[in-house]
Structure 1
């Protein structure tokens, strides 16, 4: 399709068409792969998933620090051209309002508008590569609320806007609790444990989170997509709390597909996600069996979705990790009409470009062997201690590698 073709409909209008008593719509999320081969393979997967499950909409993420801006726009355009309703993420990290077209929000929105992309996920974003704390760009936005306001003030109703919601609290609002016995019942219900430590979003911080979410909706956001969670009771409480706060827009649950044990542990630790004890125990018991992990990912996903359907969600949104087996398995188990054959032979190419996960302490693969990231520079170059080598007197070599020469261990 050309830039003059019919633009995508707004997602909020599509959600409104859901018939009472019908199954939830299905939506999916992809990330920009690091290599050209990964992009090519992703496009093939997108086509298979369009034909197999016909998602209501398809997200594409915006890499940390704006590192995938051009590729994100390219993938969103491809989604739109191939029949998907594209929902493009946009973050504030390293993004100016105007100025350099490659770093300016206004230019990115004009490009999206040109290609008929009419749905944006407005996010603050993760810190830029090499930074531990998030900082606004000079003349840029300080938070997702600024981005929502800017879009409505400068583009009116041209775009449908979704924003993030955090049933357990934003990771930055989650605190370590020295004495768990001091937690309130609500704090306990959304608490998590990691390395013997207890974390939760304290009640006063949770209130601030809900107040801020209400501001984003009042500023013009159409609906909410949540951070991943594995305890549906926490999601149910979050929905109830949103309604108490006067937040009456659709709330779409974000479902992280369980594909591998290392990735599950990495992401839940990074996000301080609540993991029910029985889920963690099961994952630990089968951690060395990759196929068993995927099979259990399907089983647990079906269970979660059934509980969410009882709550009454409009959409089931799958964080696919650029794979399809677990998503297809869950949907088949729920009775959806899933066509086609799964092909994950290209899974090794699904490594994220500009990934926010490559940080100090991460385990990575390199051309020299496996190692641990000691430092990450602003351009993504990593200082990696190569632990698979053993030199004289027990010394361990260090390599300085550009980001395309190392990959995270999932």
Structure 2
């Protein structure tokens, strides 16, 4: 259904009354990897995701691989695709080329991200003068001004605050980040996906602030990462500067930490509880849950099939 596939995430969200999920994938490095992932994505359409997202050139892959995977998915999966686009230090011609190719492939949803700055203190000073993009808000503004309503644009949010403040010796502060999020929404952002988190209380506090200060009805998707191994769980939380509540940590005693099956099984229970609690305590205001799949399907299939 081409009409459905080209619908905006904002409209899809408001048209759907019951709870749903969305899924993030990253482009594999090889052709064989892409073929295997496409088969997995086909199987995962059985979970009825509202949309899928494809990350931008992650892990050393190029933008080309992102555009290829996003176009393939858009053409063959019968599900709307949202492509990530990062803009730091990126020339306007590259952004325009990516957006034109998306549009021609039928992709109407973009997640506008700043992306990781080059390593080094004064990256903003060393920016190439060619690039008009320093922050995600610049990209949101540019897409809206240059392409009008051709694209539905999403942005990222940090329920515990962005970690950069921490690197500068400040505490992570969600209130500080809310200022930037408000700028992105005022520039035209249509929906928001959060960084991964495991602390429900912190997310709920953030959601209340978001509703009070930014928008009552803008779609807000909590970002969740299944727990596939104890080591990866810790690493992902650390990289994302997401705190892990003691009540969750205590469910992984040392004797099971190296048993991936046991860890996965407890992880599935934790995610189901987390989703239920968010859904109930927001009275169903939060009805969509975005999974960082790491291109894996089992844990997510279990979470979805076992959720009430």
SS of the residue aligned with 1:161? strand
Give the ranges of 4+ consecutive aligned residues of structure 1 lying more than 4 Å apart after TM superposition: 64-67, 132-137
Superposed, 1:316-331 pairs within 5 Å as 316-331=289-304
Comparing 214-223 with 261-270, which one deviates more in the overlay?
261-270
1:63 aligns with 2:53: no
- 1:44 maps to 39
- Report how many residues are paired: 297
User: In 2 relative to 1, CA 92–29 (structure 1 residues): closer, same or farther, beyond 3 Å?
Assistant: same
Q: Is the Cα contact below 8 Å between 1:254 and 1:316 reproduced in 2?
A: yes
Q: Please, what is the CA RMSD of the aligned residues?
A: 2.1
Residue in 1 aligned with 2:70?
Answer: 76
Contact 1:65–1:94 (CA under 8 A) maintained in structure 2 = no
Per the alignment, residue 18 of structure 1 pairs with: 16
Pair 1:332 & 2:305 matched = yes
TM-score, scaled to structure 1: 0.69
Q: 1:303 aligns with which of 273, 276, 279?
A: 273
CA contact (8 A) 1:250 1:314 kept: no
Gap regions ≥5 residues in structure 2: none
1 or 2, which has the higher helix percentage?
2
* Structure 2 Cα separation of the partners of residues 117 and 81 of structure 1: 9
Give yes or no for the alignment of 1:272 onto 2:248: no
Output one character per residue of 1:96-118: Cα deviation in whole Å (capped at 9) or x when no partner: 112xxxxx101100000111100
Q: 1:239 aligns with which of 207, 222, 243?
A: 207
Candidates 139, 144, 147, aligned match of 2:130: 139
The separation in 2 between residues aligned to 1:254 and 1:245, in whole angstroms, is 20
Which one is further off, 219-228 or 132-141?
Answer: 132-141
Q: Does 1:201 find its partner at 2:172?
A: yes
Pair member with larger Rg: 1
Q: Give the Cα–Cα distance (whole angstroms) in 1 for the partners of residues 168 and 183 of structure 2.
A: 27
In the aligned structure 1, how far is the partner of 2:37 from the partner of 2:176? 38
Specify the alignment match of 1:350 in structure 2: none
State the Cα distance separating 1:308 from its structure 2 match. Answer: 1.4
Cα displacement (A) at 1:64: 4.8
The Cα shift of 1:210 comes to 0.7
